[in-house]
Amino acid sequence: MIQLAAMGFAAVVLAPCPAGAQALRPYAIVGDAIPEPLTAPGDATRGRALVVERTSTCILCHNGPFPEQKFQGDLAPSLAGAGSRWSEGQLRLRLVDGSRLNGATIMPSYYRVDGLTRVGPAWRGKPILSAEQIEDIVAYLVTLRE
């Protein structure tokens, strides 16, 4: 369910949660960002570890200042300088649900469970990343300044 504010500039997303699935924390979209953190402030060190892990899939499409990673993607923008290009809130929305900004994106919605297609049975009703992991990645990405 989405409730739009009077002028349509903000949305509060309350995602329904299937039985047995992890409850998603509500968040407000303001313009092109989610300005408020989903949890307590993230940890940049944990965030970097998540970005370079293959399980989070970030570097399958993105590249960046990760010299220890021989194989990095080139399908999406470089993460180098991400903290200079986008605010914390803008980064948060891109991770939570990038399709709100670009309906044709191939980037997964890491913290959305409703309205998705072609989701494997093991992942149905579950976000790819937890709220804490989203905040950890945001905390790391804002440190990447050119």
Per-residue pLDDT reduced to its tens digit, 50-109: 999 866 678 889 999 988 888 888 899 999 999 999 999 999 999 999 999 999 988 888
Measured at the CA of 106, the angle between CA 78 and CA 96, to 5 degrees, comes to 80
Range of the domain at 130: 2-141
Q: Which pLDDT does position 12 carry in this prediction? A: 40
Confirm whether pTM is higher than 0.85.
no
Measured CA to CA, the distance from residue 92 to residue 137 in angstroms comes to 9
Look at residue 123 in the predicted model and tell me its pLDDT: 81
Predicted pLDDT of residue 115: 85
Report the domain count for the chain: 1
pLDDT for residue 22 = 57
Give the model confidence (pLDDT) of 18-49 as tens digits: 334 457 999 999 999 999 999 999 999 999 99
- Residue 105, domain member (yes or no): yes
Residue 146 lies in a domain: no
Residue where the block lists tokens 């093991």: 122
Q: What is the CATH number for 94? A: 1.10.760.10
Question: Got the DSSP string for 43-67?
Answer: -HHHHHHHHHSTTT-HHHH---S-T
Give the separation between CA 120 and CA 97, rounded to whole angstroms: 18
